Amino acid sequence: MPAKADLYRTAARMLGTIDKSGWILRYRYGDRRLLEDVVLPALNRDPAVESLLLVGCAWYTRHYPGLLPRKRVMTMEIDPAKAAFGGDPHIVANMTNITEHVAANSLDAVICNGVLGWGLDEPDAVEAAFAGATTCLKPGGLFLLGWNDISPRNNCPPDTIAALDGMEIADIPGLDTHSLIALERNQHCYQAYRKPDEG
């Protein structure tokens, strides 16, 4: 484990050096471009959004907090070694325990891309994680889900997740649609929900 953490830290340092040259090493696939060039910039422009949580960190997401320079961005990742790719603040935690780390009604948006079906797999864990995310969202807060509707990643499709039942359908930031398939090859879908306003 220390070896993995060291490897990720070294990779993060090297990537950080390259990033500073202005040449961000990143995936060029359409699903990533949509997230990085449309969705996150739209959130950054939205004056109603102040604080966000990005769940799941990898070498290719290390620059995501930097795409939201006007916002308070925290990251969460279950693998301690991947803290090297997280932002500041970064929370090492299982999303199922999100309410132990993030205050209720405190977030304007939770971006949960590539976590469902990528470690967050069991129905009970999915329910706990998404119910917790809902608790942490302010009324009107956005839950953006990215998932792969392809085996073995789609054992818990969103329409089977009770924790999302109380959420309203919303448009994906920057787009006029609630859901879309962003990449055919791996059936990477984005779907947006909003926590209902109180009252």
Ligand X SMILES: C[S@@+](CC[C@H](N)C(=O)[O-])C[C@H]1O[C@@H](n2cnc3c(N)ncnc32)[C@H](O)[C@@H]1O
> Binding of ligand X at residue 78 (CB under 6 A)?
yes
Question: Which of positions 12-51 make contact with ligand X (CB under 6 A)?
Answer: none
Q: Closer to ligand X by CB, 31 or 108: give it.
A: 31
Question: Which of positions 116-135 make contact with ligand X (CB under 6 A)?
Answer: 118-120, 129
Q: Please report which residue ranges of 21-114 form alpha helices under DSSP H.
A: 30-33, 40-45
Of residues 136, 158, 161, the one with CA closest to residue 145 = 158
To ligand X, the closest distance from the beta carbon of 155 in angstroms equals 13
> Binding of ligand X at residue 95 (CB under 6 A)?
yes
Q: Closer to ligand X by CB, 97 or 106: give it.
A: 97
> Binding of ligand X at residue 92 (CB under 6 A)?
no
- Span interacting with ligand X, options 66-74, 115-123, 131-139, 156-164, rule CB under 6 A: 115-123
> What is the token pair recorded at 54?
């990005």
Of residues 142, 114, 143, the one with CA closest to residue 29 = 114
Residues 6 or more apart in contact with residue 58 via CB below 8 angstroms:
82, 85
**12, 31, 52, 56: which one binds ligand X (CB under 6 A):** 56
Strands 137-148 and 188-194: antiparallel
Q: Which residue is nearest to ligand X (CB)?
A: 119
Q: Closer to ligand X by CB, 96 or 138: give it.
A: 96
Q: Closer to ligand X by CB, 106 or 140: give it.
A: 106
Taking a C-beta distance cutoff of 8 angstroms, is the pair 190, 158 a contact?
Answer: no
Distance CA 21, CA 163 (A): 43
Distance CA 77, CA 79 (A): 6
To ligand X, the closest distance from the beta carbon of 3 in angstroms equals 17
Contacting positions for ligand X (CB under 6 A): 55-58, 61, 76-79, 82, 94-96, 113-115, 118-120, 129
